Structure 1
Amino acid sequence: MKNTQTTAKDKPEPIDVQYRPILWLVAMGFFMQQLDSTIINTALPNIAKSLNENPLNMQSVIVAYVLAMAVTIPLSGWVTDRYGIRKTYFAAIILFSVASVACAISQTLNQLVIARVFQGIGGALLQPVGRLTLLKVMPKKQLLAALSFVSIPGLVGPLIGPSLGGALVELVSWHWIFFINVPIGIVGAFFTLRILPDLKMMNLEPFDYVGFLFIAVSMVSLSFVLESMVDPSHSQAHTLILLIVGLSAGASYWLHAIRHHSPLFHTSIFKVDTFSIGILGNLFARLGNGAIPFMLPLMLQVVLGFNPTIAGLMMIPLAIGSMIIKQYITKIIYRFGYRNVLTTNTILVGLGIASLAAISPSTPLWWQVIHFFLIGIVNSIQFTAMNTVTIKDLTTDDASSGNSLLSVVQQLSMSMGVAIAGAVLNNFIHIYGKTQMLLSFQYTFICLGSITVCASWIFWQLRKQNAPRKSTR
């Protein structure tokens, strides 16, 4: 039976040679940002020792980066439209590289935290501006293949980050986890000026500062709520106040956006069914996935006794699986349709996360490698399909707003996933004790997998999209 979700008009085309340099440049930006999100994790104890700090107080280094990214992403679309793709991407690479140097030469924890804030601002522009570049430059029929291509470095970065960070700390020093960004940034900045078009929008509406303030307060407050969930030193009253502030700011933004003539995120984009479903799907389907790059290396070290470098190297099969399947994702989606692929694959992703509960000290190493490889395959299909179905039906005018909101949701979902995983793990450890650490990890993976499986219902709603949308308005 012929698939009714696509027609000959929607069939994908191979990427033209003229667009390939742009794809490589965007992929480089994706790699820089994603790599730096995880490369620091295995190096924190060494950084703490160098700065004469307690390792338990180094969490602010991670929080500063993530919050700076989450808060800055809503600015990316307007800044790109106002100053142009070329100038914005160039400034993002330069800021990220300079902030990386500042991180490497920091002498105190406060200096490092401040440098990480600016690094997060630069990183927040790299990925959404890169994706927005593809939306504005690439022909529609080549967009899926383009997004699939540039997402490969984005998958590889966080997977090799922990092992690379551990290796650099052991072989050289922790400073090089930041210095490594400099040569990549120099090359990227050079080619940005050479090949990126200087596209910008004329007669741009003024920036929605009030809406941005509501969004920023909501994200920061809710992020601290998640931090409070895993930190017993915070009182319930403190957590409740932050929760109320965060929800109130979010509700205030929605009321503001309905009345404002040019809000930060147009509420009209939620009238596009694929966008609404894709945003919700990204939010909930990424909760389990967002925790895996943190939970899995932790279990390999705490339970199986791997050192940080080897635990990071065990993530390589995930990356290999992700890269191998990339060239087939476009064909899979156009063969079976977004609804069938995402509904089925979300279930497979959830089962894959839950299956990590089967790992024990007696599990053969070769089986762990195959296991992680298969999870990498379904993860890769999931990310590419979710991102594309979310933004594919947006008009050119809505591309900036929708793309920025998608990036915000991705960051928040991954942060929430890590916080939820930490809270669930700590709860099971409290119940079963530290002597049953393996059991606590196993139950946590089952919970994360169950959450992901439930998200498949969201993508099932794509059944209403039986034919290509002619117009989103």
Structure 2
Amino acid sequence: MDSTVISTSLPALALDMNVDPISLKLALTSYLVSLAVFIPISGWMADRFGSLTIFRSAICVFMLGSILCGVSSTLPQFVAARFLQGIGGAMMVPVGRLVILRSVEKVNLVKALSYLTIPALFGPVLGPPLGGFITTYFHWRWIFFINIPISILGLYLATRFIPDLKAEQVAPLDLKGFLLSALGCSLLMMGLATAGRHLVSGEVALTCVLAGLVFLAAYVWHARRASAPLIDLALLKIPTLRAGVFGGSFYRVGIGAIPFLLPLMLQLGFGYTPFHSGMLTCASAAGAMFMKTIAARFLRRYGFRRVLLVNGALGVLGLWAIATFTPQTPYLLMVVILLIGGCFRSLQFTSLNAISYADVDKLRLSQATSMASVAQQLSIGMGVVLAGFALQMSNEIQGHATLVAQDFWPAFLVVGAVAACALLMLRQLPHDAGAEMAGRDDNRPA
């Protein structure tokens, strides 16, 4: 809920902090970069110190970050607080997913992952309208203060229900790999996110990008030689994991732009209130929640490859359909398009998440989970960066002094084109990819 509740409040935040709305992409990307940086080390920490210990510590860190977000008065303060929130969020990742992956047979994994994510989808449903309601009728700061009672409840529930599981043998922490990957991811994303709106000079932004690429290249060199790397790149030799990571990354770049672009378009372009914008935005999440309940049936009947290709294409069309929205588009029609688009995107993400682990043995699940999670967060963050850049270019090319409705459709077309590139990678999957996980006969014609 925290990652979506802020989206409808971006214009109010920008006004209160006296910054350009596009500049707030930095607040979104800082949270996602923090997740990408700390997810790999959090898996090691859960194995080393216990799942319950790490989960409760994560909630405390997240609650502290929420309080600091609520009292922030400048963009740098807010970005730093969101980064701290992301550390807490990253530390929660390995507990739920790893327990599921290690305890469920592959034939039941799709259904189990759906059970795991259906409750989490209430967040995207409740987040946008809740954020819009609070921003419209109270103040945006209360968006973060409501995390305090939720976190306290989370501490109680974690203590009661989550076992303090530890791994019997834990390899030493790859500290060098952690530092290289952390510096690479953070510098690259921050350099891209700060470019173009004079948050820092162009030279500084370019230096961050180049330095980030150098650190990431150094990590690749290190990982190929380390005995126990933080993220084992050799796992990419597994075709299904490779397709899930790379194909999923391109797809998420396009879809990750929606929470950034859509609320800005509805409020700044169409003149909607934050509350009405949030009510419309949550239609996608409602469609996603419904699809999670029947995703396993689609995969069992049609197989992973066909679902990923056909449904992926429909999801891209749904993204491009948003580009056709105008202030005159009927509200009900927008709800229907977003609802159906949410169904397509949900089925695609469920399939991508599952196929990534189809051929990974249980001994390497922790590494595979870290790799897939890092790629997921970086690609969503890259989607926000790309959307902000495309929106800025559209605004400047069309010569508008401020953001208007006509500035948004090119941005949706650009991110949709990136998402479509995922289909080229998913075509490389064999016809029987993930047959055991989908509950299909390997010999059945695709």
TM over 0.5: yes
Aligned partner (choices 286, 290, 299) of residue 256 of structure 2: 290
Q: Which amino acid aligns with 2:46?
A: T
Pairwise CA distance, 1:118: 2.6
In the alignment, which residue of structure 1 is the partner of 2:133? 167
Q: 1:311 to 1:45 in 2, by over 3 A?
A: closer
Query: In structure 2, how many angstroms separate the alpha carbons of the residues matched to 1:356 and 1:266?
Result: 38
Pairwise CA distance, 1:386: 0.8
In the alignment, which residue of structure 2 is the partner of 1:147? 113
In the alignment, which residue of structure 1 is the partner of 2:408? 441
Query: In structure 2, how many angstroms separate the alpha carbons of the residues matched to 1:454 and 1:103?
Result: 36
Pairwise CA distance, 1:153: 4.1
Pairwise CA distance, 1:221: 1.4
Matched, 1:456 2:412: no
Matched, 1:245 2:211: yes
Deviation by residue 1:286-328 (Cα, 9 ceiling, x = unmatched): 1110001111111112222211111111023212211222211
Percent identical:
38
Query: In structure 2, how many angstroms separate the alpha carbons of the residues matched to 1:396 and 1:244?
Result: 37
Query: In structure 1, how many angstroms separate the alpha carbons of the residues matched to 2:51 and 2:242?
Result: 26
Query: In structure 1, how many angstroms separate the alpha carbons of the residues matched to 2:106 and 2:56?
Result: 25
Mapping 1:30-179, distance limit 5 Å: 35-43=1-9, 53-56=17-20, 61-105=27-71, 112-179=78-145
3-state DSSP of counterpart to 2:383: helix
Q: 1:168 to 1:207 in 2, by over 3 A?
A: same
In the alignment, which residue of structure 2 is the partner of 1:311? 277
Q: 1:159 to 1:448 in 2, by over 3 A?
A: farther
Q: Report runs of 4+ in structure 1 exceeding 6 Å deviation.
A: 107-110
Pairwise CA distance, 1:462: 1.1
Q: Which amino acid aligns with 1:207?
A: L
Aligned partner (choices 134, 148, 151) of residue 185 of structure 1: 151
Query: In structure 2, how many angstroms separate the alpha carbons of the residues matched to 1:244 and 1:201?
Result: 38
Matched, 1:329 2:269: no
3-state DSSP of counterpart to 1:280: helix
Query: In structure 2, how many angstroms separate the alpha carbons of the residues matched to 1:157 and 1:290?
Result: 16
Pairwise CA distance, 1:391: 2.1
Contiguous gaps of at least 5 residues in structure 2: 438-446
Alignment check: 8 A CA contact 2:32 2:380 kept: no
Alignment check: 8 A CA contact 2:304 2:433 kept: no
Q: 1:144 to 1:219 in 2, by over 3 A?
A: same
Q: Which amino acid aligns with 1:240?
A: L
In the alignment, which residue of structure 2 is the partner of 1:388? 354
3-state DSSP of counterpart to 1:462: coil
In the alignment, which residue of structure 2 is the partner of 1:407? 373
Alignment check: 8 A CA contact 2:33 2:381 kept: no
Aligned partner (choices 323, 330, 333) of residue 357 of structure 1: 323
Alignment check: 8 A CA contact 1:148 1:384 kept: yes
Alignment check: 8 A CA contact 1:424 1:444 kept: yes
Deviation by residue 1:233-270 (Cα, 9 ceiling, x = unmatched): 65554343223211211111111111110000112311
Pairwise CA distance, 1:422: 1.4
Pairwise CA distance, 1:468: 5.1
In the alignment, which residue of structure 1 is the partner of 2:345? 379
3-state DSSP of counterpart to 1:463: coil
Q: 1:139 to 1:94 in 2, by over 3 A?
A: farther
Deviates more, 1:340-349 or 1:139-148: 139-148
Query: In structure 1, how many angstroms separate the alpha carbons of the residues matched to 2:280 and 2:406?
Result: 21
Deviation by residue 1:14-42 (Cα, 9 ceiling, x = unmatched): xxxxxxxxxxxxxxxxxxxxx21232344
Deviates more, 1:200-209 or 1:113-122: 113-122
Alignment check: 8 A CA contact 1:350 1:451 kept: no
RMSD between aligned residues: 2.6
Matched, 1:254 2:228: no
Q: 1:136 to 1:316 in 2, by over 3 A?
A: same
In the alignment, which residue of structure 2 is the partner of 1:274? 240
Q: 1:422 to 1:102 in 2, by over 3 A?
A: closer
Q: 1:322 to 1:64 in 2, by over 3 A?
A: closer
Query: In structure 2, how many angstroms separate the alpha carbons of the residues matched to 1:467 and 1:110?
Result: 45
Q: 1:239 to 1:115 in 2, by over 3 A?
A: closer
Q: 1:45 to 1:353 in 2, by over 3 A?
A: closer
Query: In structure 1, how many angstroms separate the alpha carbons of the residues matched to 2:431 and 2:240?
Result: 9
Alignment check: 8 A CA contact 1:299 1:441 kept: yes
Query: In structure 1, how many angstroms separate the alpha carbons of the residues matched to 2:127 and 2:305?
Result: 33
Pairwise CA distance, 1:207: 0.3
Query: In structure 1, how many angstroms separate the alpha carbons of the residues matched to 2:307 and 2:26?
Result: 39
In the alignment, which residue of structure 1 is the partner of 2:230? 264
In the alignment, which residue of structure 2 is the partner of 1:23? none
Query: In structure 2, how many angstroms separate the alpha carbons of the residues matched to 1:62 and 1:451?
Result: 20
Alignment check: 8 A CA contact 2:10 2:264 kept: no
Query: In structure 2, how many angstroms separate the alpha carbons of the residues matched to 1:347 and 1:175?
Result: 39
Alignment check: 8 A CA contact 1:349 1:449 kept: no
TM-score, normalisation: structure 2? 0.89
Q: 1:464 to 1:238 in 2, by over 3 A?
A: farther
Pairwise CA distance, 1:110: 6.2
Q: Which amino acid aligns with 1:374?
A: I
Alignment check: 8 A CA contact 1:43 1:174 kept: yes
Q: 1:111 to 1:300 in 2, by over 3 A?
A: closer
Query: In structure 2, how many angstroms separate the alpha carbons of the residues matched to 1:109 and 1:428?
Result: 24
Alignment check: 8 A CA contact 2:34 2:86 kept: yes
Deviates more, 1:263-272 or 1:226-235: 226-235
Query: In structure 1, how many angstroms separate the alpha carbons of the residues matched to 2:231 and 2:293?
Result: 33
Q: 1:61 to 1:286 in 2, by over 3 A?
A: closer
In the alignment, which residue of structure 1 is the partner of 2:334? 368
Query: In structure 2, how many angstroms separate the alpha carbons of the residues matched to 1:427 and 1:302?
Result: 17
Pairwise CA distance, 1:60: 5.7
Alignment check: 8 A CA contact 2:32 2:86 kept: yes
- The number of equivalent residue pairs is 434
Contiguous gaps of at least 5 residues in structure 1: 1-34
Query: In structure 2, how many angstroms separate the alpha carbons of the residues matched to 1:47 and 1:290?
Result: 20
Q: 1:139 to 1:193 in 2, by over 3 A?
A: farther
In the alignment, which residue of structure 2 is the partner of 1:342? 308
Alignment check: 8 A CA contact 1:160 1:315 kept: no
Alignment check: 8 A CA contact 1:393 1:469 kept: no
Pairwise CA distance, 1:430: 1.6
